[in-house]
A and B are shown apart, each in its own frame.
Chain A
């Protein structure tokens, strides 16, 4: 039930773009995206509900392809503050029972 995230790690220079993918073998009600910095708690980024929607949050946006049960997180014009581990959490029932991927470690360098 754990979703698969890719890539496992990525290094970017400031201003570059990145895409993080999350896929599930199960039908999903929603996909949640979180970012966790070292030694801190995960912080909510956005939720995408079934129906195949797309959301944006400043220079971070995401899409959810319900047919493929895949979600992608897009980070554009990356900043140093974007560094951290990004997790997708998948909810199959709508009851907030989340299964998280193993995370993508993103490092932005000057």
Chain B
């Protein structure tokens, strides 16, 4: 079974630009969660999508948005990039549903904002 894939793996952008990151979950998984990982703040929850609907949202500004497609693939968009957005962005997929279950993480996209 193929794991979670994320593209691109590395990105360099400048302040003010926008970026779109992509995540393909494990086949059969309907839930995709996004996390931001930085040395200072650790792993922080951005949002979670299940069956094309945003089900949960973390405490991030509206510049961070996402969506999920009918095949469960998910994209995350960050507009008007700031230096502080430099981080490793991880997505994780799980079966979803109403029970807490294990999440499988992708390798991440390393975003650098100059």
Contacts and interface: CB of A to CB of B under 8 A. Distances in A.
B31 interface: yes
Nearest to B99: A94
Max chain A CB contacts within 10 Å: which of B31, B90, B105? B105
Contacts, number: 65
Given A41-B90, A103-B42, A95 B106 contact: no
A59 to B, nearest CB: 20
B100 A91 contact: yes
B56 interface: yes
Contacts of A49: 100
Interface string A1-36: 010000000000000000000000000011010100
Interface in B1-42: 4, 31, 33, 35, 42
B100 A94 contact: yes
A96 B105 contact: no
B60 to A, nearest CB: 13
A31 to B, nearest CB: 9
B31 to A, nearest CB: 6
A42 interface: yes
Contacts of A42: 43, 90, 105
A102 interface: yes
A47 B43 contact: no
B44 A94 contact: no
Interface of A: 2, 29-30, 32, 34, 40-44, 47, 49, 87, 89, 91, 94-103
